[in-house]
Amino acid sequence: MAHVAEWKYQKVDDLTNILKAHAVIGIAEIGGIPAPQMQHMRQNLRGKLLIQSSKNTLFFRAIDAVSEEISGAQDLKSLIQGQTAFISTDMNPFKLFGTLKETKTKAPAKGGEIAPQDIMVRAGDTSFKPGPIVGELQKVGIPAAIQGGKVVIKKDKVLVKAGEKISRDIAQMITRLEIFPLEIGIKLQGVLEDGFIFKPDVLDIDMDHYLSQFHLAAFNAFNLAVETAWYTPLTVQPLIQKAHRDAFALAMDAGVINADTIAQLCAKAHRSLLSVASKVKDDGLDEEMKGMMS
């Protein structure tokens, strides 16, 4: 029987404890993150989650060890690829995805990478001085020219489509144009919560947009409740205020005299008096009325 190093047993125990520590378990790919950036990310995330990297074979053993206790744990295996890390937290999966997304920073391409999205140059002026740079830009497919003593890009141009490899020449040129197409950060592959796996295509939502939609829905629901006289702790006060306004308007239209309407009714009668008086010739008005009309 092959000898298994003691540290591997200890590492599996550590990973197992991380899996059990919180209600939400994430699988992340952390390959390609330079050590200083990774350390900085860990510091920023401290207190919010536990994160532990190791060999994938040890991750599989840890998952097997908790599969009877944690529903859906075996499904985490399909998410493990590349250089992996376990994440354990009490954040809901959507907040976790957003938190990790905020740690990502833009990075220049060196050549050979796969473009995560279309790499495009936009039409407009550049910071380059006229010279050989125009030919260099054109060589990599950028429609450059000299106009008005400046080097300009004549039109928008997609240099590399998403999923294609970035050539070394294009990488060098877009870096000079300060276009940084890559992202350095923790890439969440999926999250397990209550036996369900949530993947990035579900987790990557525009939270501000969704919150604005919830606010709009709440606003419309509140207005509908008031219009239909639906009594709730939130609507009872506005409904009483609406009833008072409606009752006051009805009393005014009907000429009902009370302490609330008397001043408004007198003002209304006065306006009506002046309106009638404006139709009468001056010799039909007494001096007091003429004074009111002047």
Q: What is the CATH number of the domain that holds 146?
A: 3.90.105.20
And the tokens for 59? 């991750």
Do 99 and 162 have their domain in common?
Answer: no
pLDDT confidence of 1, banded at 50, 70, 90?
very low
Do 97 and 125 have their domain in common?
Answer: no
Pick the more confident residue, 240 or 34.
Answer: 240
Is residue 112 situated within a structural domain? no
pLDDT at 145: 92
pLDDT at 273: 76
pLDDT confidence of 34, banded at 50, 70, 90?
confident
Do 127 and 138 have their domain in common?
Answer: yes
Can you give the residue range of the structural domain that contains 262? 210-293
- CA proximity to 174, closest of 131, 135, 142: 142
Round the average pLDDT of the chain to a whole number and report it: 87
pLDDT at 97: 92
Is residue 113 situated within a structural domain? no
- The predicted-structure confidence for 49-70, as pLDDT tens digits, reads as follows 888 888 999 999 999 999 889 9
pLDDT at 132 over 50: yes
Do 250 and 277 have their domain in common?
Answer: yes
Cβ–Cβ under 8 Å, residues 125 and 86: no
Is residue 111 situated within a structural domain? no
CA–CA separation, 219 and 214 (whole Å): 9
- CA proximity to 88, closest of 23, 169, 39, 40: 23
CA–CA separation, 21 and 49 (whole Å): 10
pLDDT at 2 over 60: no
Is residue 57 situated within a structural domain? yes
pLDDT confidence of 282, banded at 50, 70, 90?
low
Cβ–Cβ under 8 Å, residues 188 and 99: no
For residue 34, give the 3-state DSSP assignment.
Answer: coil
- The predicted-structure confidence for 89-130, as pLDDT tens digits, reads as follows 999 999 999 989 888 888 888 899 899 899 999 999 998 999
pLDDT confidence of 71, banded at 50, 70, 90?
very high
Q: What is the CATH number of the domain that holds 100?
A: 3.30.70.1730
187 to 41, 48, 62, 76, 228: CA distances (angstroms): 12, 17, 21, 15, 49
pLDDT at 290: 67
pLDDT at 212: 92
- CA proximity to 277, closest of 265, 266, 261, 293: 293
CA–CA separation, 104 and 29 (whole Å): 13
Do 163 and 217 have their domain in common?
Answer: no
Model's pTM, two decimal places? 0.59
pLDDT at 294: 63
Is residue 41 situated within a structural domain? yes
Residue 56 corresponds to which amino acid?
N
Do 195 and 171 have their domain in common?
Answer: no
pLDDT at 284: 64
Q: Within a 10 A sphere around the Cβ of 294, how many other Cβ atoms?
A: 5
Pick the more confident residue, 226 or 5.
Answer: 226
Pick the more confident residue, 83 or 34.
Answer: 83
Do 19 and 99 have their domain in common?
Answer: yes
Do 194 and 227 have their domain in common?
Answer: no
Q: How many domains does the chain have?
A: 3
Is residue 234 situated within a structural domain? yes
